[in-house]
């Protein structure tokens, strides 16, 4: 997900250098959305991993 966000930012930079401001703005918006989705998925997996580890620890004890 972060890889796609970085690719979108690179495309936006190239488009901005070539003078396509509208398209560059669109790609920046896409990169922002992908970045925040990646952060949300990271936090979700972090919480699930902590809860799963806690459950396994309690089951072993």
- Cα(48)–Cα(26) distance, rounded to whole angstroms? 33
* Torsion on CA atoms 50, 55, 59, 60, rounded to nearest 10: 0
pLDDT tens, position by position, 1-20: 889 999 999 999 999 999 99
Residue environment code for 12-49, b if the CB has 16+ CB neighbours within 10 A, otherwise e: beebeeeeeeeebeebbebbeebbeeeeeeeeeeeeee
**8 Å CB contact between 7 and 28:** no
Q: For residues 2 and 44, which has the higher predicted lDDT (pLDDT)? A: 44
The reported pLDDT for the residue numbered 36 is: 96
Give 51's DSSP letter. H
Mean pLDDT of the chain: 90
């Amino acid at each position: 997900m972060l890889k796609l966000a970085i690719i979108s930012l690179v495309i936006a930079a190239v488009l901005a250098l070539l003078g396509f401001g509208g398209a560059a703005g669109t790609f920046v918006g896409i990169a922002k959305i992908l970045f925040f989705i990646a952060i949300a998925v990271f936090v979700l997996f972090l919480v699930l991993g902590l809860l799963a580890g806690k459950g396994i620890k309690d089951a072993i004890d």
